[in-house]
């Protein structure tokens, strides 16, 4: 392991700025999100918290131009959007958000090769920050990792007071640190301190879910209409929990045309909480709110495990913290009806 | 004090359910996070003891009324109660199906302001206690004292409660909020002092952050259209892409559509995850409506909705 | 500042102001060609979203014309339009739209000359401003 003094991090960021767009947790724009480092603000070094808007926005932007088109005499001509995404380095990403990117990989890299996503993904270095102060809404430890898990980042930093301990996880991470000034070998005392910081963060987590029990109960709970109606009652069907979810990736595609027949195709975030999301000419399979709430829970805790063998939730708790009515997914998951009581009302309908 | 109120509320609600006067009750329960309150919809009197009252019950529960069937009792602060009447005026709910339980409100504590003032996350705060005009915030770093005005929600600083007469029952004694209208008017006055170009630039900047989650619309009790203009495709009023232009048009049109129904309850601004100061718009809209038409939404259930009525002579100075 | 020729979208009600525009035309009255008329059945039909849509696609100004108070073909449509447009005007001004860009007026079917005058005035007003670049990036 290596380490760097906090006052030297500015130099490191400046070095990275030569090769990358450096993103850091920032509130400068008025909302909390990953933003291009202004070269000044270093508040995030001492107080690093999850941003409200998750770093998925750096991979799946809310407005993505897919291609342009224009009308010629013998048909349409396509004009590809930017070939290669710019190289970016995301500084201070928490393990939960890094895990979320790894989860999105399964959809946009493994199940289908999405060139827009991949080009950003391949040009990104993730500099993780071990989470030192999890929020009350966090439950990452219930999902098989923890606030200091370094699996999904290229470099992991741990705050030990006046310095950061640096773990180089991937080759890309090693390369990014190589030749950096002021990066020195960590002493055993530093490593011990880092271990303590990580353990204390882990101990701060109080929220829990039991994923084995959830997996057992979910299949039968699907048809329990009254359960879902009750838990959905206070949901107002806004898009906060999905838009701010680091693993939610649903999108809508729209063409925008000018009068002369030219235009462009865009992709933007969409959300299963909206009734229009599934509206079709004949009917809407999820017109009722409880079906939409159920969909959200099942997508993360049932369909994801079936398709990819992993739960599509990292326990970051944004959906709980930012929810305007404090709808808490862990309460739902911890109170799923047990087994046989499920109603059969749903069975006739294909879903 | 709040314990007494809670007990009184629970007693009254139990009574209502036992006597079959209402089928359901919409109130507040304890949330899953520190200081959080959450909407609680109950029909079983066994759940009555889950009802709470405290200075964190910010939700305007009237948003749930059109979807809850049967006779419904609802716990309401005065600002929220105006939204209920606004719904009645607009024929979204029948007055006789709603039993409005007024709770005394001295204002809602804005956790965002608390976080900003203390430099702490709400998770690091152990206790927030409110005595008289002082709010004490205790954390591992010791206790800090603030005036109520410093931590109250903006919508509460502009509170003009007192004139509402439609409560079916009031728990305890209504007392005024420690409002500071000058402070809250300042946001609007500062805006008015700018040139049109500066104002437009201001809103352009604010709406460039909007992610179009529609929380402002969904949390709004008086945004009750079955189909919102933003989702229409033929013609398409705005693009689904969250560009600032489209975000701004969405919000401006939404505000004009709820004029005369909006009571400036502040929920849209509180719900916004990217901190767009929508209260500067709702507050101004309430002013405009009052100034032009001497109208206040949700005060009189028998008054026609603002947009469904007219006076033969009004606002002519704005017309050529 | 160089003066420019503003583009104006006018929403005219079918029964009075559109007929007024017709009369202005058949009477061969002169008025600026800056105006593009959209006929609506009643000024009460004009949703504030129409105004913003017109401005967002490049109109320099919007003119909403209806029957004089008391003369509405549907009896009260223009009264409702008056409330709506008064609010829209005040509110959009507060958001930063110059007040000259949103104009409301009454014009009857027999007032061809008034129609021509109104269009002239509004056009002159707008020429004092700069072109609408509010919605440009």
Verify that A133 and A282 share a domain, yes or no: no
> What is the tally of structural domains in chain C?
1
Verify that B99 and B115 share a domain, yes or no: no
Longest dimension (CA), chain C: 45
pLDDT at site C1: 52
Q: What is the pLDDT of residues A277-313, one digit of tens each?
A: 999 999 999 999 999 999 999 999 999 999 999 999 9
- Say whether residue B225 is in contact with chain C using an 8 A CB cutoff: no
Domain end call among A169, A188, A204: A204
Cβ partners under 8 Å of residue B48, min gap 6: B10, B13, B14, B17, B25, B42
Q: Per-residue pLDDT for A350 more than 60?
A: no
In a domain, C103, yes or no: yes
Comparing CA positions, the residue from A266, A299, A231 lying closest to residue A116 is A266
Verify that B23 and B106 share a domain, yes or no: yes
Give me the residues of B, 228-247, that contact C with CB < 8 A.
229, 237, 245
In a domain, C87, yes or no: yes
Map residue A349 onto helix, strand or coil. coil
Q: What is the CATH number of the domain that holds C24?
A: 3.40.50
What ipTM was estimated for this complex?
0.95
Verify that A163 and A227 share a domain, yes or no: no
Judging contacts by C-beta atoms under 8 Å, the chain A residues touching residue B213 are: 238-240, 243-244, 271
Could you tell me the residue range of the domain that residue A308 belongs to?
Answer: 211-348
B293 CA to chain C: closest CA distance, Å?
Answer: 8
Verify that A46 and A168 share a domain, yes or no: yes
A271 CA to chain B: closest CA distance, Å?
Answer: 8
Q: Per-residue pLDDT for B308 more than 50?
A: yes
In a domain, C3, yes or no: no
pLDDT at site A83: 72
Q: Per-residue pLDDT for A344 more than 80?
A: no
Q: What is the CATH number of the domain that holds B134?
A: 3.10.450
Which of B33, B209, B212 minimises the CB distance to A136? B33
CB atoms closer than 10 angstroms to residue B116: 12
Judging contacts by C-beta atoms under 8 Å, the chain B residues touching residue A54 are: none
Verify that B75 and B20 share a domain, yes or no: yes
Which of C52, C83, C122 minimises the CB distance to B293? C83
Min mean pLDDT across A223-232, B166-175, B243-252, C105-114 is at: B166-175
Q: Which pair of structure tokens corresponds to residue B120?
A: 């702490």
Burial class (CB in 10 A: 0-12, 13-18, 19+), B185: middle
Among B190, B192, B196, B281, pick the best mutation site for testing chain C contact (most C Cβ within 10 A): B196
- SS3 string, B169-225, reads EECCCCCCCCCCHHHHHHHHHHHHHCCHHHHHHHHHHHHCCCCCCCHHHHCCCCCCC
Domain end call among A155, A187, A204: A204
- Neighboring chains of A (3 or more beta-carbon pairs < 8 A): B
Interchain contact, A330 vs B34, CB within 8 Å: no
pLDDT at site A26: 95
Q: What is the pLDDT of residues A220-264, one digit of tens each?
A: 999 999 999 999 999 999 999 999 999 999 999 999 988 888 999
Could you tell me the residue range of the domain that residue C24 belongs to?
Answer: 8-128
Q: Which pair of structure tokens corresponds to residue A118?
A: 């991949």
Average pLDDT on A75-91 reads 89
Q: How far apart are CA C82 and CA B316, in angstroms?
A: 8
Query: What is the sign of the dihedral through the CA atoms of C119, C121, C122 and C128?
Result: positive
Verify that B136 and B218 share a domain, yes or no: no
> What is the tally of structural domains in chain B?
2
Interchain contact, C135 vs B245, CB within 8 Å: yes
B221 CA to chain C: closest CA distance, Å?
Answer: 21
Domain end call among B102, B121, B151: B151
Domain end call among A158, A189, A204: A204
Average pLDDT on A93-109 reads 97
- Band (A351; pLDDT cuts 50, 70, 90): very low
Q: What is the pLDDT of residues A9-61, one digit of tens each?
A: 999 999 999 999 999 999 999 999 999 999 999 999 998 899 999 999 999 99
Verify that B67 and B182 share a domain, yes or no: yes
pLDDT at site A347: 46
Domain end call among B125, B151, B177: B151
Q: How far apart are CA C16 and CA C44, in angstroms?
A: 13
Verify that A178 and A227 share a domain, yes or no: no
In a domain, C29, yes or no: yes
Paired residues of B144 in beta bridges: B137
Judging contacts by C-beta atoms under 8 Å, the chain B residues touching residue A274 are: 214
Verify that A126 and A74 share a domain, yes or no: yes
pLDDT at site B242: 97
Q: Per-residue pLDDT for A218 more than 80?
A: yes
In a domain, C134, yes or no: no
Interchain contact, A243 vs B213, CB within 8 Å: yes
pLDDT at site B31: 97
Q: Per-residue pLDDT for C104 more than 60?
A: yes
- Band (B181; pLDDT cuts 50, 70, 90): confident
Q: Per-residue pLDDT for C86 more than 90?
A: yes
**Contact: chain C with chain B (3+ CB pairs below 8 Å):** yes
Could you tell me the residue range of the domain that residue B131 belongs to?
Answer: 111-151
**Contact: chain A with chain B (3+ CB pairs below 8 Å):** yes
pLDDT at site A349: 46
Average pLDDT on A139-162 reads 96
Verify that B271 and B128 share a domain, yes or no: no
Phi and psi for A286 in degrees, rounded to 5? -130, 50
pLDDT at site A77: 94
Verify that B219 and B306 share a domain, yes or no: yes
pLDDT at site A346: 47
Domain end call among B124, B151, B178: B151
User: How confident is the prediction for chain B on average, in pLDDT?
Assistant: 94
Residue of chain C whose Cα is closest to the Cα of B252: C92
Q: Per-residue pLDDT for B132 more than 90?
A: no
Verify that B49 and B183 share a domain, yes or no: yes
């Amino acid at each position: 392991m290596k380490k760097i003094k906090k006052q030297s991090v500015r130099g490191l960021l400046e070095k990275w700025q030569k090769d990358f767009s450096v993103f850091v947790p920032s509130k400068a724009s008025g909302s909390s999100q990953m933003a291009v480092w202004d070269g000044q603000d270093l508040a995030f070094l001492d107080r690093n918290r999850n941003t409200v808007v998750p770093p998925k926005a750096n991979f799946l932007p809310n407005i993505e131009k897919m291609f342009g088109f224009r009308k010629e005499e013998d048909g349409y001509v396509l004009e590809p959007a930017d070939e290669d995404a710019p190289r970016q380095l995301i500084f201070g990403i928490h393990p939960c958000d890094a895990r979320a990117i790894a989860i999105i990989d399964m959809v946009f890299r493994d199940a289908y090769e999405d060139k827009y996503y991949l080009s950003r993904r391949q040009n990104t270095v993730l500099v993780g920050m071990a989470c030192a102060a999890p929020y009350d809404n966090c439950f990452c430890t219930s999902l098989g990792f923890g606030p200091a898990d370094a699996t999904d980042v290229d470099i992991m930093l741990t705050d030990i007071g006046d310095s950061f301990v640096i773990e180089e996880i991937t080759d890309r991470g090693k390369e990014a640190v190589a030749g950096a000034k002021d990066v020195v070998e960590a002493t055993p005392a530093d490593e011990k301190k880092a271990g303590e910081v990580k353990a204390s963060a882990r101990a701060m987590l109080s929220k829990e879910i039991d994923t084995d029990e959830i997996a057992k109960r979910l299949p039968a709970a699907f048809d329990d209409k009254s359960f879902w109606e009750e838990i959905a009652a206070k949901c107002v069907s806004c898009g906060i929990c999905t838009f701010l979810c680091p693993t939610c990736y649903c999108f809508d595609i729209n063409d925008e045309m000018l009068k002369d027949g030219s235009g462009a195709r865009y992709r933007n975030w969409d959300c299963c909480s909206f009734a229009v999301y599934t509206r079709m000419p004949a009917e809407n399979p999820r017109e009722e709110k409880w079906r939409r709430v159920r969909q959200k829970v099942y997508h993360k805790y049932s369909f994801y495990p079936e398709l990819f063998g992993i739960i599509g939730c990292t326990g970051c708790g944004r959906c709980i913290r930012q929810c305007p009515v404090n709808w808490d997914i862990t309460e739902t998951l911890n109170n799923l009806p047990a087994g046989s009581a499920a109603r059969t009302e749903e069975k006739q309908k294909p879903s | 004090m709040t314990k007494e109120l809670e007990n009184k509320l629970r007693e009254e609600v139990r009574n209502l359910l036992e006597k079959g006067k209402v089928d359901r009750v919409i109130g507040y329960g304890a949330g899953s996070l520190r200081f959080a309150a959450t909407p609680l919809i109950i029909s079983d009197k066994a759940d009555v003891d889950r009802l709470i009252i405290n200075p964190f019950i910010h939700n305007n529960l009237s948003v749930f009324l059109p979807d809850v069937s049967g006779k419904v009792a609802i716990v309401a602060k005065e600002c929220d109660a105006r939204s209920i009447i606004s719904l009645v005026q607009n024929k979204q709910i029948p007055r006789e199906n709603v039993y409005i339980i007024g709770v005394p409100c001295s204002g809602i504590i804005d956790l965002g302001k608390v976080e900003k003032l203390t430099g702490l996350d709400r998770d690091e705060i152990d206790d927030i206690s409110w005595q008289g005009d002082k709010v004490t915030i205790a954390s591992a770093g010791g206790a800090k004292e603030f005036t109520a005005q410093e931590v109250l929600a903006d919508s509460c600083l502009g509170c003009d409660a007192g004139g509402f007469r439609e409560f079916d029952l009031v728990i305890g004694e209504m007392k005024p909020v420690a409002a500071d209208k000058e402070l809250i008017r300042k946001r609007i006055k500062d805006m008015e002092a700018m040139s049109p170009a500066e104002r437009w630039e201001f809103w352009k900047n604010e709406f460039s952050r909007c992610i179009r989650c529609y929380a402002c619309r969904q949390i709004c009790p008086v945004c009750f259209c079955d189909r919102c203009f933003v989702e229409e495709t033929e013609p398409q009023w705005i693009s689904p892409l969250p560009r600032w232009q489209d975000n701004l048009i969405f919000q401006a049109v939404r505000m004009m559509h709820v004029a005369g129904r909006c009571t400036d309850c502040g929920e849209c601004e509180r719900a916004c995850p990217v901190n767009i100061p929508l209260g500067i718009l709702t507050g101004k809209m309430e002013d405009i409506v009052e100034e032009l038409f001497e109208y206040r939404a949700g005060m009189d259930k028998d008054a026609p909705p603002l947009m469904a009525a007219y006076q033969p002579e009004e606002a002519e100075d704005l017309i050529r | 500042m160089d003066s420019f020729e503003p583009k104006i979208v006018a929403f005219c009600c079918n029964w009075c102001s559109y007929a007024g525009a017709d009369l202005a035309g058949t009477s061969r009255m002169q008025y600026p060609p800056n105006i593009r008329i959209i006929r609506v059945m009643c000024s009460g039909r004009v949703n504030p979203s129409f105004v913003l849509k017109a401005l967002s696609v490049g109109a320099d100004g919007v003119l909403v014309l209806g029957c004089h108070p008391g003369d509405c073909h549907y009896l009260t449509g223009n009264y409702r339009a008056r409330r709506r447009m008064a609010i829209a005007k005040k509110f959009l001004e507060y958001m930063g739209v110059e007040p000259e860009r949103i104009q409301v007026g009454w014009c009857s079917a027999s007032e061809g000359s008034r129609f021509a005058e109104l269009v002239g005035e509004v056009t002159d007003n707008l020429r004092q401003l700069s072109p609408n670049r509010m919605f440009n990036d």
